[in-house]
Structure 1
Amino acid sequence: MVRYLRPAALSAATLVLLLATDGAAVPGGRLRLETTASTSAARDAARDAARDAARDAARDATRPARPDGPAHPGAPAPLPPPTVLPDPGPAKLAGLPRTVFTGSGFDACSAPPLDVMRTWRGASPYGAVGIYSSGRQRACPQPQLTAAWVRQVRALGWRLVPIHAGRQAPCRTDLERSRRIDPARAVRQGRDEAAEAVRALRALGLGQGSPVYLDLESYPSGDAACGRAVVDFALGWTQALHAAGYRSGFYSGLDSGVGDLAACARAGAAPLPDALWYARWDDRTSTDGRGVLDADQWSRHQRAHQQVGNATESHGGAALRVDRDQLDTLVAR
């Protein structure tokens, strides 16, 4: 996304909504609300997570070692034993529905004016928009982004994907130190960023159970200490969001942040973000993860793929600079 480093684009795409368990049709797609109705369901989810972790650990133990380095060029380097934090998620999120969209969406550096959103809703194939809801490193002003704008845009049928632009990887030496994660304080800093994000979601009227995606731009691969700091930051971010009753999203490059997070997930890191949004500008609509993600990782409508960046599109006479995304993931409630 790089919204805090250069003028932004919007991510554009067709959106399918999934609603209720019968997948009721709505204009532009299908919407689905998945509800965890009881603490019993939460216990079942925790049990299933523990079972899956044990299965993954057993599987990984049988994999041959790779002393010669990553499996393919640009793959993340092996990381040290993962951090495991207490997860308040099962209790806090019990009974809060997951709202899922499958299809295409876009994000903008600045939230577009309401008349543009109205025009694009009628003239474009898109149905979701990423909004930079918080983050001290947002590049663009947000004069449109108010609770009133959110209400009106949602009334038009748009679904919202909140994004938080915060600290970046410690190995991003092109950034000032104050804009980077401190490896010694990564978990604490992730929690602090989550608190900021929650305040913004509440101010915009986005309810508990909504996700917010941490925008962690690509960084040089192969640096285990840097990758570990990024993952620890994401775990603290997730823990604090869960404690506040919100879901955690994570955006990064497929061969940097997402690859490092996937590797630590295999090793047992917790609590993991609830959804992943990966960048790979290959103009493919698939969310298959290109071999970096295992088939069973974030596989319950928990993935988005940023497929094209910095493209200018015009619909109904209204032009926007966009990044195009394929979504099969959590969006705001």
Structure 2
Amino acid sequence: PGGPPSLVTGDPRDFGAQIFRGNAFDTCQAPSVSTMRAWKGASPFGAVGVYIGGRGRACPKQKHLSPAWVAAVHKQGWKLLPVYVGSQSPCVIAKNKRKVRMSGKDPYGQGRREGQDAVRQARKLGMAQRSAVYLDMEAYRYKNRKCADTTLRFVQGWNSAVRAQGYVAGFYSSANSGIAHLEKARAAGARGLPTAVWFARWRVRPSVNGERNLNPKAWQPHRRIHQHTGNKKRTYGGRTVSVDHNLVDAPVAIIK
């Protein structure tokens, strides 16, 4: 609608976001405080992705994640990347995610409700306004036009609810799926897109700027995360965790 497509640009710090630049890991189950302490000194990581909620979350029972955990790891010096795994696309590829597909009736409204819940979960953990929260949308067949439209409406609804409460709306997906779809939508003039994108492309050199499915000028500066390696067992300080590796230049949670 109206005018050239937005490139979703500008420094997010201008509206109060906090940026982390460096290496992060994410893992299904937030590790214990003592594991986080052991890793802080010995690992190359300075930030961690934590799964804060959503009906599609793979590890719904988080043994360690709590307001006390967030406060403790924040004190250790970690930055946090909150991830919310909500309803998935109607044409999601993974069989295990099909039971949590969004309904096609009112995807925008459903997205809004889940966006409100995402902020509620972030708040409960002590993450303040201007914190980023990333919506996890697993790979889907975005070339199916009807499915792509439904998914985009859900994402726009989710973003609008997250923003309305003063939080920063992020989006995680595979580079060849959700990210390619959002870039196409952006180029076509869609509004209400995420502030930051987190793209999964494994087995390539880590780079926030080299993703071929993103316009080099879009989602810049400090609005990108590249998940470049997945499902690797890593041991630091005598503690082993199975993790994905990410290169980050993007907004994180702000801990009260």
Normalising by structure 1, we get a TM-score of 0.70
Residue 248 (1) aligns with residue 145 (2): no
- Selected match of 2:74 from 136, 143, 154: 154
Q: Does 1:263 align with 2:184?
A: yes
Q: Deviations over 1:276-316 (max 9, x none)?
A: 00111124211125321101210121000110110111011
- Name the CA distance, whole Å, in 2 between partners of 1:176 and 1:322: 20
What is the correspondence of 1:69-88 to structure 2 with a 5 Å cutoff? none
SS at match of 2:106: helix
Larger mean Cα displacement after TM superposition, 169-178 or 125-134 = 169-178
Cα deviation code 1:88-123 (max 9, x no counterpart): xxxxx9985111111110111111001100000011
State the distance in 2 between where 1:113 and 1:147 align: 13
Alpha-carbon spacing, 1:236–1:94, altered in 2? closer, same or farther (3 Å): farther
Percentage identity across aligned positions? 41
CA contact (8 A) 1:254 1:289 kept: no
User: For the residues of structure 2 that align with 1:236 and 1:118, how far apart are their CA atoms?
Assistant: 37
Matches within 5 A, 1:171-320: 171-172=91-92, 174=95, 179-320=100-241
Relative to structure 1, the CA distance from residue 289 to residue 225 in structure 2 (aligned partners, 3 Å threshold; closer, same or farther) is farther
Q: CA RMSD in A?
A: 2.2
Secondary structure, aligned partner of 2:105: helix
Amino acid at match of 1:102: R
Q: 1:123 aligns with which of 42, 63, 73?
A: 42
Unmatched 5+ stretches in structure 2: 7-11
Counterparts in 2 of 1:270 and 1:120: CA distance versus 1, 3 Å: same
The structure-2 alpha-carbon separation of the partners of 1:190 and 1:132, relative to structure 1 and needing over 3 Å to count, comes to same
* Paired residue total: 248
CA distance in 2, matches of 1:256, 1:98: 27
Given the superposition, is the C-alpha separation of residues 202 and 130 from structure 1 closer, same or farther in structure 2, using an over 3 Å criterion? same
Partner of 2:89: 169
Please tell me whether the aligned partners of residues 230 and 257 of structure 1 are also in contact (alpha carbons under 8 angstroms).
Answer: no
State which structure, 1 or 2, has the greater radius of gyration over its C-alpha atoms. Answer: 1
SS in 2 for 1:117: helix
Give the conservation status (yes or no) of the 8 Å contact 1:241–1:247: yes
* Structure 1 portions without partners, runs of 5+: 1-49, 58-92
Q: Say whether the 8 Å CA contact 1:212–1:248 is kept in structure 2.
A: yes
